């Protein structure tokens, strides 16, 4: 009888996930496809994600554009501020996708979908990797739409298409890195609503205590140091330089002197750290 029970258990138990690199990549792409199909079936999620940055562009460009001078530029030209502004709006847009990533994972956890994924013979990290890849696709679409809006209001990339593509690549790398922070938040809370709030509340000081919207020269000394070493500031300045836009006379802090390298290093560190923490949290949360 014991042999019969054991044989039956083996038939009903899910087969173990295969090792190597190919299987985890395949599993991640399957999960990413599932999330992309879900986005297509619920288009209002993508639409609202696009509308928010457009509102920021219009409000900052036309409400504050004539009131904020850009250091190093002659006069107080609203067109200069629009070009100064756009790198900050791009970076804010890709990082604010963090809240959506966290809410999506929290919703899957709340509905028990992650537990069903766990019963399948698939890589443990594939659920999170697939989700973050799908979010990266949505972020790319949002950046494309935002670029069109920026061109309409007068923004231009002056240093050629290759440098502009490199700047977009840095933005998407930062957005992907921050989506892992969102994944960790989504795994750490009980409801999607909490994930949305938790994913946004820390982003506001991160984005505003930076060089995204105003030059840091007039900030108190302590906040200047915080802004200079803010990973968000490095990516914003790197994009301004690659786009050929006004950079607002950055400070002599190392990240501000080497913004492209600093942006890449910050993003890699965030990905490695928070992916490790998120996968570990996923395993313990669904055990």
Q: Is residue 11 part of a domain?
A: no
Query: CA–CA separation, 199 vs 195, rounded Å?
Result: 6
pLDDT tens profile 7-33: 444 444 444 445 557 777 888 888 888
Tell me, yes or no, whether 1 lies in a domain.
no
> Would 79 be classed as within a structural domain?
yes
Instruction: Evaluate whether residue 5 is within a structural domain.
Output: no
| Token couple for 24 | 């985890």
Is 15 within the bounds of a domain? no
Q: Which sign does the torsion angle of CA 32, 137, 282, 188 carry?
A: negative
Q: What is the pTM of this model?
A: 0.85
- The answer to whether 253 and 228 are in contact (CB under 8 A) is yes
Structure tokens given for 140: 């790319």
Position 103 in a domain: yes
The domain of 280 spans 21-285
- Give the C-alpha separation, 227 to 208, whole Å: 9
What's the gap between Cα 219 and its chain centre?
A: 26
Q: Which pLDDT tens digit goes with each residue over 198-227?
A: 878 899 899 999 999 888 888 898 999 999
CA 245 to chain centre: 22
219 falls within a domain:
yes
In a domain, 281, yes or no: yes
């Amino acid at each position: 009888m014991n042999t019969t029970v054991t044989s039956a258990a083996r038939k009903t138990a899910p087969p173990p996930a295969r090792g190597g690199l190919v299987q985890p990549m395949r599993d991640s792409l399957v999960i990413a496809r599932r999330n992309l199909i879900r986005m297509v079936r619920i288009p209002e999620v993508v639409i609202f994600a696009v509308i928010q940055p457009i509102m920021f562009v219009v409000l900052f460009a036309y409400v504050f554009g004539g009131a904020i001078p850009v250091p190093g530029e002659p006069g107080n030209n609203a067109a200069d501020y629009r070009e100064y502004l756009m790198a900050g709006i791009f970076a804010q847009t890709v990082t604010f996708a963090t809240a959506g990533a966290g809410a999506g994972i929290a919703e899957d956890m709340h509905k028990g979908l992650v537990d069903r994924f766990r019963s399948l013979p698939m890589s443990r990290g594939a659920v999170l990797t697939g989700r973050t890849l799908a979010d990266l696709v949505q972020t790319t679409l949002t950046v494309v739409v935002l670029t069109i809006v920026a061109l309409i209001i007068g923004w231009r990339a002056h240093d050629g298409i290759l440098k502009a593509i490199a700047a977009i690549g840095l933005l998407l790398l930062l957005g992907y890195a921050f989506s892992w922070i969102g994944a960790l938040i989504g795994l750490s809370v009980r409801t999607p609503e909490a994930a949305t709030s938790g994913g946004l509340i820390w982003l506001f000081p991160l984005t505003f205590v930076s060089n995204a919207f105003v030059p840091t020269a007039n900030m108190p000394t302590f906040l200047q140091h915080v802004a200079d070493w803010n990973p968000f500031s490095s990516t914003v300045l790197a994009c301004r330089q690659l786009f050929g836009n006004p950079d607002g006379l950055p400070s002599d802090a190392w990240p501000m002197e080497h913004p492209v390298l600093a942006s890449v290093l910050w993003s890699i560190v965030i990905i490695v750290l928070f992916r490790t923490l998120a996968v570990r949290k996923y395993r313990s949360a669904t055990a």
